[in-house]
Structures are given as structure tokens and as C-alpha cells.
Amino acid sequence: SGFCLRHGGRHAVAQQFVVKNLGYGTLSGGASGLDSPFSFEDDHSYSLEYGQSEEITVYFTPTGEGSFSDTAI
């Protein structure tokens, strides 16, 4: 679940998700597709061997009231 913190000098909520390679060979890729007020923490690309995993953090940093949604791919 998400938690409240400061990101970029403003209040933000962070949520993590995990990409894990359960297949044979190297799994390479990256998370993309977010627009403000959503953003990724640092580099969100990965190259994973079998059994390895990568945690990706998404920040939600709204600048005002409203309803927001987005999808990371």
C-alpha cells in the first residue's frame, strides 16, 4: 500500500510494484506511460535474469484537488 511523504518539495504518496522474471532468458524492459501528477522514482528500466526482481516506485504528487488516474505500462 502507499504511504505519505515529501517528494520534490511537496506532499506525495508512493506505491511500489515488483517485476519478476519467471521465464528463461533475460527479461529487459522498463515502466512508462505516466503523466503528471504521477511520476517514477529514478531510472525505471530493468534487465533481469531468471528469478531476479526489480521494485519500481510510483509517486503521486497532486498540485490541487481533483480526481486522477493513470496506468503504468
Residue 47 has pLDDT above 90, yes or no: yes
Q: What is the mean pLDDT of residues 58-72?
A: 88
Q: What is the mean pLDDT of residues 43-69?
A: 91
Q: What is the mean pLDDT of residues 59-69?
A: 88
Q: What is the mean pLDDT of residues 55-73?
A: 88
Q: Which pTM was predicted?
A: 0.75
Strand ranges (E), 1-73 = 3-7, 10-20, 27-30, 38-40, 45-48, 53-60
CB 17 within 8 A of CB 58: yes
Look at residue 11 in the predicted model and tell me its pLDDT: 80
Cα–chain center distance at 40: 5
